[in-house]
Amino acid sequence: MDSSKWVNTSLGLSLVPNHSPHAMELMEDEDQPPVSTSSMTAAAATAVGAGGSVLLGEELNRISLENKKLTEMLTVLCQNYNALEAHVKELASENELILANNCLIKKRKAPPLDGTIGFTRNATSTTAETSFSDEESYKRPLEMSSNINLKISRVCVPTDVSDTRLIVKDGYQWRKYGQKVTRDNPSPRAYYKCSFAPTCPVKKKVQKSAENPCLLVATYEGEHNHNHPAQPQVITIDHRQGPNLITTTTTSIPLVLDDHSSNILAHKRSSSSPTTMSMSSSSDHNSSLMEPGSSCGHKPNQVIEAAADHHPQYDHKATNFQQLLVQQMASSLTKDPNFTTALAAAIAAGRFNPPIPKW
């Protein structure tokens, strides 16, 4: 796993803290489980209490205020997101109309790599349905029925230029069934089927980007009809109980590109704007999050983190926002001298046992 998938929690702490006796008393409660990175704020609140109940109260007030502000920010962002999503859907339907009017009844046309796959395939799949011969419809009934609502998305994953393996780890189980050298790309294209469930119709194609050989482009077709075999990494903030409760589970989340978001990505490559969030036009829960300087190769550990399109049971819009939120919180916490002092005290007392992520 790429270490960039994790929030940087390095605090530059000294392991020789100047904690007070009060802090030690507070930390002598043997019933408490070991503190993890995900409950750092709890450790902070506990240790800050070492300075006295007044300090603890102030700290709690401050955290409550911060929590309130973050909640308000979340509300505003959700509203903005909904408005933007509605706009994207509107644009998508307009695009589909244009394609339909142009009568692009080409049964198969090599989809360009510049991010027009979804609309083209959606438009052609419906027309191709009526043009298959009886033999073909006999041979591919399942495929056609699934193509009607075929969902196509693209995932970009940074890779080493010299790495010839066409592997995109997304948590699912894939069986490779073919590899082809395509005309417009010196890198071969690998074909995979989802092998986690025998009836799962999802396929993916993996090929290095012709423009950026350090980017692997995986094109997913269809939707999984089963649960994700590995739980994705989700950072959950329980706002009802304040920012003290942050829990984590596991996964890596690649960048999902579909038609619209890849256009946004293309635009971003040329504009070098700050952190950008792009939305999917073809999915209900796609979203993509890019770090600044995310063009190929330069900062692979920062390059791409976004929603996986194939985890229908997870709301990745919220997850990505939460990741961003947690990064901000971690950043603000690490700048807080009270917090670092308190955390150092907690570590020295042997109560802080962060989990080591598996890469």
Using CB under 7 A, pick the residue from 151, 203, 260, 285 that binds DNA: 203
- Specify the stretch interacting with DNA by CB under 7 A; choose among 49-57, 180-188, 274-282, 286-294: 180-188
Q: How far apart are CA 159 and CA 166, in angstroms?
A: 9
Using CB under 7 A, pick the residue from 68, 69, 87, 175 that binds DNA: 175
Using CB under 7 A, pick the residue from 182, 209, 231, 327 that binds DNA: 182
**Minimal distance, residue 102 CB to DNA, in Å:** 13
Q: How far apart are CA 245 and CA 49, in angstroms?
A: 18
- Specify the stretch interacting with DNA by CB under 7 A; choose among 55-63, 168-176, 261-269, 329-337: 168-176
Burial 138-163 (b: 16+ CB within 10 A, else e): eeeeebbebbeebbbbbbbbbbeeee
> Rounded to an integer, what is the distance from CA 121 to the centroid of its chain?
24
Strands (E), 222-318: 235-237, 246-248, 255-257, 276-279, 287-290, 304-306
Looking at beta carbons only, is 103 or 356 nearer to DNA?
Answer: 103
125 to 164: interface string for DNA, x by CB under 7 A: ---x--xxx-xx--x-------------------------
Using CB under 7 A, pick the residue from 190, 246, 346, 349 that binds DNA: 190
Q: Could you give the strand order of the β-sheet that contains 255-257, starting from the edge strand earlier in sequence?
A: 174-181, 188-194, 203-208, 215-221, 152-158, 255-257
- Specify the stretch interacting with DNA by CB under 7 A; choose among 23-31, 60-68, 107-115, 299-307: 107-115
**Minimal distance, residue 288 CB to DNA, in Å:** 23
**Minimal distance, residue 154 CB to DNA, in Å:** 13
Within a 10 A sphere around the Cβ of 7, how many other Cβ atoms?
Answer: 19
Q: How far apart are CA 56 and CA 226, in angstroms?
A: 47
Residues lying near DNA in the complex (CB under 7 A):
106-111, 128, 131-133, 135-136, 139, 173-180, 182-184, 189-191, 195, 203, 205
